[in-house]
Amino acid sequence: MKVASLEQLEEFSSRMDIDLDSLAFNYRYIKAMVSPAKVIAVVKANAIGHGQRHVARTLESLGVDFLGVSNFLEGVYLREAGVRAPVLVFNGLTPAQMRRAIELDLSFFAFDSESLVLADSLAKDAGLRAKVHLKVDTGMGRLGFLPGDARSVAETLKKLSAVEVEGVASHLASPYVPEHDGFTRAQFEKFLAAAGELDPGHRTMWHFAASSGTLRFKEMWLDAVRVGAILYGVSRVWPLPWPLRPVACYKAQIVQVKRLPKGHNVGYRLHYTAPHDMALAVVPVGTTDGLTSEHADGGFVLVRGKRCRIVGICSCEMMVDVTDVDSPAPGEEVVIIGKQGGDYISAVECAESGQTAYSNLLTRISTRVPRVYFSNGKCTHIEVLGDESDL
């Protein structure tokens, strides 16, 4: 769907406003805090729902050191969108993906000796070099080789001529839970020992901390940090200890206001029965747009700056108790995540009221919800269902 003018914004019954100036502020703040460490800005999962294309372009214009994606196709997408900044793919790659990554100058994780040998062979066939980061599993139990295999991996590397090792990395299992700090520090010690065997001259980029680890463990910044959530002003470490700004505001419009009598059902599964005569607003945002069934009678939205309870939720709509709002009407703004009046609902709070994580909520907001981008107070781009419009 192409958008020809700002007037078409009125046609959007829901939208996510993305403040690129706040994104830039957060990036610069994080960069200054962790300096001289580099910043790997994570734009995986459609930039955690914020829109990968424009977020990546903004970060590239700021001179980002690296962009991080989890899925191989996300890296391809960035290259096809014209992004030339270094890109690191986190997921393990199949042989076909690895070949294409080398051709597109995408860096990727090598996770055992076999993946290194394959990368070397594919790079030689292409007449190129494979840019890899060695992934050590220090306790996550996911991608990577165990610290005890570091020496054999180092020996394998000596035999390869078309592999360029850019970095050594690992990932924390529970950096946001203080009760697990002992495990976290043990992971760090294992990583330092393994990295020392893999890269005894410390010539490459060692990176260990992601968003939560970056906030809580300064000693773990090393040569680079991988930050996603805090780049967008949200985090499992809450409240945020740094003055980072929320980048997104998720809002919708009321499409109907109706009076329901006491005892009337609201929503699927007979979950909620009106305890009194009530004014009910129907809002065209539901479980297909990031919310969960647990938001029903557990979450709130803002209407005229007042917190109004979500009392029922369907796949494409939610129902909101607006009894305490004076004469609510169709077309009125409903804020799901963001500020209205003197109140604010964060992505973390919204997610917790739906018994999920902020990342689950934000990444499930479908592309049918327009992303509306602002810079210097002006709308610059709109993206709907994958179609991009410049304004």
**Catalytic positions, please?**
44, 268
DSSP string for residues in 90-145: -S---HHHHHHHHHTT-EEEE-SHHHHHHHHHHHHHHTS-EEEEEEB-SSS-SSSB
Q: How far apart are CA 359 and CA 361, in angstroms?
A: 5
- CA-based nearest residue to 61, from 94, 98, 91, 24: 24
Give the HSE-up count for residue 283: Cα atoms under 13 Å, Cβ half-sphere: 37
Do 355 and 294 form a contact (C-beta atoms < 8 A)?
A: yes
Q: Which residues of 356-387 are buried (b: 16+ CB within 10 A; e: fewer)?
A: bebbebbbbbeeebbbbbbbeeeeebbbbeee
Antiparallel, parallel or unpaired: β 87-89 and 66-69: parallel
Task: Report the length, in residues, of the chain.
Answer: 391
